[in-house]
């Protein structure tokens, strides 16, 4: 986020519209490909390749955990060598590794190819964060909100395509999904070449090389954001199991849950996210998200104790509230994640944030299925309080971050609650 005088800022905002459109288009293409692959990958490896589900899970777990190691170094490389260059290289590697999956015929091959893919994905994710910071400029909230709207839309469209392939059930259909995802990486890389070659920002003298790892407020935010990220598997994993095993709601309610969640996130992200600009705004958005989750989780639990149609209505209403919380949570994460990071080290900081978020997502299935499902209604109430406490920590964390670094526009006013 390059600083400058008023005239320079106005010029940059006018010139920034084209790069914003390019990055939105590139991200949309990439997420359509991700949606194609992610929704059907497990079925391909088990039904087509013929690997046992346990072996597939083990291979993907090993790859995912190994990939976590590359985020921070990859982000630092993006800061020092240019985010666009690093991201394009990562996308090219992912295109090759994704295409190689059609040749996989055993566990070792799957583990090796998936590990290369996850290493490149972690590097690319950190570089993407640094690139978003440069393209977004000094008032990036609306851009990031629009970007996430199109990202969500891309995943939805890709998932629809995956559903068609799954319905066909042939090897050719699954291979088309994989090669389609590989092509999306290549197209995304080609689009990124249309972006300006942003100059590397010089780091201040005497700064530690791995400054993100010694930034205690940002480390605390990383932990909080990773823990609050448990709200994503609530809709994608926990609630479908709860609906099918513990409520009288019709089974089509599971599909309605995903439709409501996707629709409201797409419709509301820009409207709400564009208003969450500063770290102070981000802290308050996290608090709001925690309160919304405090409402949605008990309503989800209540669905297990009501008749069939009441249960369906409660689930849909709960998902609406939860989706609203998701929009506030993601918007707050953007504002704090980018706002607390130094301009010249955005890649390294986004790499750290990605590591924390990915670690939380890796732990989420075990935690949610054992604790919440194991305790039933009490587990949902515990989860609601957990999210509310995390959200309440947002404003004081924003104030702590403001005290440890200069913020534009007056830090004291920014973090007032």
Q: What is the pTM of this model?
A: 0.82
Using the structure block, give the residue that is written with the tokens 């991700």. 34
> Where do the domains of the chain lie, and which CATH numbers do they carry?
6-192 (1.20.1250.20), 211-414 (1.20.1250.20)
- Predicted confidence (pLDDT) per residue in 134-160, tens digit: 888 766 777 888 888 888 888 888 888
**pLDDT given at position 58:** 86
* Residue 110 CB neighbour total at 10 angstroms: 22
Using the structure block, give the residue that is written with the tokens 């823990």. 227
**pLDDT given at position 406:** 59
Residue % of the chain over a pLDDT of 70: 93
**pLDDT given at position 1:** 36
Handedness of CA 325, 291, 234, 251 (dihedral sign): negative
**pLDDT given at position 50:** 87
**pLDDT given at position 105:** 87
**pLDDT given at position 353:** 92
Query: Which of 362, 332, 338 lies closest to 212 in space, CA to CA?
Result: 338
- Predicted confidence (pLDDT) per residue in 201-248, tens digit: 877 777 777 888 889 999 999 999 999 999 998 988 888 888 888 888
**pLDDT given at position 268:** 87
**pLDDT given at position 352:** 93
- List, for the chain, all residue ranges whose pLDDT scores fall below the cut of 50: 1-16, 407, 409-417
- Cβ contacts of 302 within 8 Å, gap of 6 or more: 314
Longest dimension (CA), the chain: 66
Q: How far is CA 411 from CA 1, 403, 406, in A?
A: 17, 8, 7
- Cβ contacts of 49 within 8 Å, gap of 6 or more: 104, 105, 110
- Predicted confidence (pLDDT) per residue in 168-204, tens digit: 878 888 899 999 999 999 999 999 999 988 888 877 7
């Amino acid at each position: 986020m390059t600083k400058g005088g008023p005239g320079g800022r106005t010029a940059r905002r006018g010139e920034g519209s084209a790069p914003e459109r390019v990055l939105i288009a590139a991200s949309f293409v990439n997420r359509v490909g991700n949606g194609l692959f992610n929704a059907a990958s497990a079925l391909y490896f088990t039904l087509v390749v013929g690997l046992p589900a346990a072996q597939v899970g083990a291979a993907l777990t090993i790859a995912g955990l190994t990939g976590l190691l590359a985020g921070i170094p990859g982000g630092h490389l993006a800061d020092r060598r240019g985010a666009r260059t690093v991201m394009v290289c990562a996308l090219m590697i992912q295109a090759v590794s994704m295409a190689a999956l059609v040749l996989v015929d055993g566990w070792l091959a799957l583990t090796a190819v998936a590990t290369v893919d996850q290493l490149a994905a972690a590097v690319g994710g950190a570089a993407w964060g640094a690139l978003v910071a440069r393209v977004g400029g000094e008032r990036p909230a609306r851009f990031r909100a629009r970007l996430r709207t199109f990202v969500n839309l891309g995943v939805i469209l890709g998932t629809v395509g995956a559903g068609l392939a799954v319905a066909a059930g042939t090897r050719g259909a699954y291979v088309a999904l994989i090669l389609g995802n590989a092509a999306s990486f290549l197209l995304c890389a080609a689009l990124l070449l249309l972006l300006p070659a942003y100059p590397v920002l010089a780091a201040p003298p005497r700064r530690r090389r791995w400054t993100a790892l010694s930034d205690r407020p940002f480390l605390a935010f990383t932990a909080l954001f990773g823990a609050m990220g448990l709200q994503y598997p609530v809709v994608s994993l926990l609630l479908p199991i709860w609906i099918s095993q513990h409520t009288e709601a019709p089974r089509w309610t599971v599909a309605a849950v995903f439709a409501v969640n996707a629709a409201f996130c797409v419709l509301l992200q820009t409207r709400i996210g564009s208003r969450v600009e500063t770290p102070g705004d981000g802290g308050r958005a996290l608090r709001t998200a925690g309160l919304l989750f405090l409402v949605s989780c008990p309503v989800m639990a209540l669905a297990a104790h009501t008749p069939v149609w009441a249960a369906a209505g409660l689930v849909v209403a709960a998902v609406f509230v939860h989706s609203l919380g998701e929009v506030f949570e993601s918007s707050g994460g953007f504002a704090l994640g980018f706002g607390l990071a130094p301009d010249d080290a955005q890649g390294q900081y986004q790499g750290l944030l990605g590591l924390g978020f990915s670690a939380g997502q890796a732990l989420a299935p075990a935690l949610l299925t054992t604790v919440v499902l194991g305790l039933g209604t009490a587990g949902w109430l515990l989860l609601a309080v957990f999210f509310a406490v995390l959200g309440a920590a947002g404003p004081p964390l924003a104030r702590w971050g403001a005290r440890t670094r200069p913020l534009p526009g007056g830090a004291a006013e920014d973090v007032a609650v």
